[in-house]
Amino acid sequence: MIGGETGARIEIKPSIAILYDSTGAKRIVTNYKDNERVKIAFIINGSAIQTIDRNLLYIVTNGILERAALGQGYSFARSSGNIKLGGSASGVKIYCLRVYNSRISYQAAYDNYVFDSENKAKIYAQNDIFATGTISYEKCRNKIDTILISGNLTNILSA
């Protein structure tokens, strides 16, 4: 657990991770298989600058943006800076823990995932989908299940 017993905190259990706001309400949750080694990043984008992702909460699991939720109107002020590890009976093994006292971007979370990974070249190759600054269909179709729809979509989109 990162934080206090109540209020804003992060709880990581053998098959679930939860971010709570300062009232103790669950705001974003992710599930994973028990005994699976996962890398999880919680990102609270509370930027005062008007951006497209302002006030969103993210969970990034194994370098992939898994989920986002609206965080506007909720406080995530720390009640304490405590980090409590449950011991060997908790069922959770912590291999690496990073806590920042300033905002990081989704890109920074991804970069940290790559940096901490054993096979950086493989991760880079799997995520190389850009050509001349835009997403390349040719690169995507070889890496990601992709559907290409072309033609007049007016009838489909208006239905």
- Give the global pTM: 0.64
What is d(CA 128, CA 144) in angstroms, rounded to the nearest whole number?
11
21 neighbors 42 (Cβ within 8 angstroms): no
Q: Domain map of the chain by residue range?
A: 2-116, 118-147
Which candidate, 51, 109, 143, places its Cα nearest to that of 135?
143
pLDDT band, very low/low/confident/very high, at 94 (cuts 50, 70, 90): confident
Average pLDDT over residues 7-11: 85
